[in-house]
Amino acid sequence: MAASIQSTPVGRGDAWWARLAVTAFCFTLFGLGGLVLGLAIFPIYWLLPGGERARRERARRTLALAMRAFVWLMSSLGGISYEIHGAARFGRAGQLVIANHPTMCDVIFLLGFSRDSCSIVKHQLFRNAFTALAVSQSGYVKNEPTDAMIEHASAVLQGGQSLIVFPQGTRSRPGEAMRFHRGAAAIALRAAEFITPVFIWCTPVVLGKGQPWYRVPPRRPHFVLQVGEDLPLAPYRGERPPPVAARQLNQHLIELYEARLSAGPLH
Amino acid sequence: MQSREQIHDMVRDSLAELFELDPTRIKLDAHLNDDLEIDSIDAVDLIDRLKKSTGKKMTADDFRSVRTVNDLVLAIERLQAS
């Protein structure tokens, strides 16, 4: 027994080398896939005829398919395992989906499992040659802390789309206090029918902030995504002025996430 | 045409109500962000409110360089003169 313990270096169990290889392979494929989509598929889409709505749906379907394929590949090769509960409740009109953001994979899961949803994405993606066509054809909202962003996102919700936002803005670091940008709360109060919170756990954390892809964790990372109960917004509307209500709602959301995330997934 | 003083009163009342602030804090030299914790996310609501109070059309671009309450008063004065 002692020999087998020694043959497994500390922190490198659970088929570590195989998972490193799978991760490297998947990352390469992800990069190549992005290249093919960005330099071939989306430019072709751009040339195809169709109204704004048809283009948007086509672009979103393609991205969702690519993300689903990536999740399928990563999990069937054993790089990660995951469970997602309540995905059928994505994609409803006027729905603001919010989620915590522990790893780079969150976006891949949410875009992959939600049908025809809009998303607020990093503004850099609109200037990157590989991603610009994909995000603009998908009709995504450019993230800037401005009134223009709030108004664009509100118009998306009022137009009957579902919108995905990560209120933390950037990936969180473990142990850090939960901080939400108030933009999500402000958008919700202006234009959403309700908020659907998604709680994401990843243990051990993989592809977290400042964590390079090759730092594969000692155990196979397991993702749990739970779609929570819809939060009605009526209690926040009308009683107090919108900027004060947005601060209250934001604080409520932070407390909800702190409580749910520390309690762990519901069974 | 409102005097600068009237505009200041209107701005003070609007800010006090919209952000539930003590009106005595809304001095001309008060910094919107640092002193009153009003940021760019609040701009949409603030502009909605000022549009109602003044009856003038305005956009966020009219307020790009506004930092203090005084800047806000001057910006509204300029809009009313135009």
Identify which has the larger pLDDT, A250 or A178: A250
Contact with chain B for residue A241, Cβ under 8 A: yes
Q: Give the count of domains, chain A.
A: 1
Is residue A184 one of the residues assigned to a domain?
Answer: yes
Contact with chain B for residue A176, Cβ under 8 A: no
Mutate to test the interface with B, among A120, A144, A146, A147 (most CBs of B within 10 A): A147
CA quadruple A167, A169, A173, A179: dihedral positive or negative?
Answer: negative
> What is the average pLDDT across A76-97?
95
Beta strands A95-99 and A117-122, pairing class: unpaired
Q: A224, A265 in Cβ contact below 8 A?
A: yes
Tell me which residue in B18, B41, B46 faces A145 most closely, judged by beta carbons.
B41
Q: A77, A174 in Cβ contact below 8 A?
A: no
Q: Could you tell me what percent of chain A has a pLDDT over 90?
A: 68
- Under DSSP, is residue A21 helix (H, G, I), strand (E, B) or coil? helix
Tell me which residue in B20, B38, B41 faces A150 most closely, judged by beta carbons.
B41
> What is the average pLDDT across A109-128?
93
> What is the average pLDDT across A133-156?
92
Which bin fits A172, alpha (ψ -120 to 50), beta or left (φ > 0)?
Answer: beta
pLDDT digits (tens, 9 = 90+) for A213-261: 888 888 899 999 999 999 999 999 988 999 999 999 999 999 999 999 9
Cβ contacts (< 8 Å) between A147 and chain B: which residues? 40, 43-44, 47, 60
Residue range of the domain that includes B61: 4-81
Could B20 and A147 be called an inter-chain contact, meaning their C-beta atoms sit closer than 8 Å? no
| CATH assignment at residue B67 | 1.10.1200.10
Residue range of the domain that includes A200: 15-263
> What is the average pLDDT across A109-116?
92
- In eight-state DSSP terms, residue A47 is H
**Strand pairing partners for A226?**
A85, A199
pTM of the model: 0.90
Cβ contacts (< 8 Å) between B19 and chain A: which residues? 241, 243-244
The per-residue pLDDT string of chain B (82 residues; one tens digit each, 9 = 90 and over) reads 678 899 999 999 999 999 999 999 999 999 999 999 998 889 889 999 998 888 888 888 888 889 999 999 999 999 888 7
Is residue A10 one of the residues assigned to a domain?
Answer: no
Is residue A127 one of the residues assigned to a domain?
Answer: yes
The per-residue pLDDT for B55 is 87
What's the gap in Å between the CA of A52 and the closest CA on chain B?
27
Could B41 and A183 be called an inter-chain contact, meaning their C-beta atoms sit closer than 8 Å? yes
Euclidean distance between CA atoms A227 and A199, whole angstroms: 6
DSSP line for A51-85? -HHHHHHHHHHHHHHHHHHHHHHHHHTTS-EEEEE
Mutate to test the interface with A, among B45, B48, B52 (most CBs of A within 10 A): B45
pLDDT digits (tens, 9 = 90+) for A25-63: 988 998 899 899 999 999 999 999 888 899 999 999 999
Is residue A67 one of the residues assigned to a domain?
Answer: yes
Given a cut of 60, whether residue A65 has pLDDT beyond it is yes
| CATH assignment at residue A236 | 3.40.1130
Is residue A27 one of the residues assigned to a domain?
Answer: yes
* Helix then strand then coil, % of chain B, to nearest 5: 60, 0, 35
Tell me which residue in A151, A240, A241 faces B44 most closely, judged by beta carbons.
A151
Euclidean distance between CA atoms A202 and A224, whole angstroms: 6
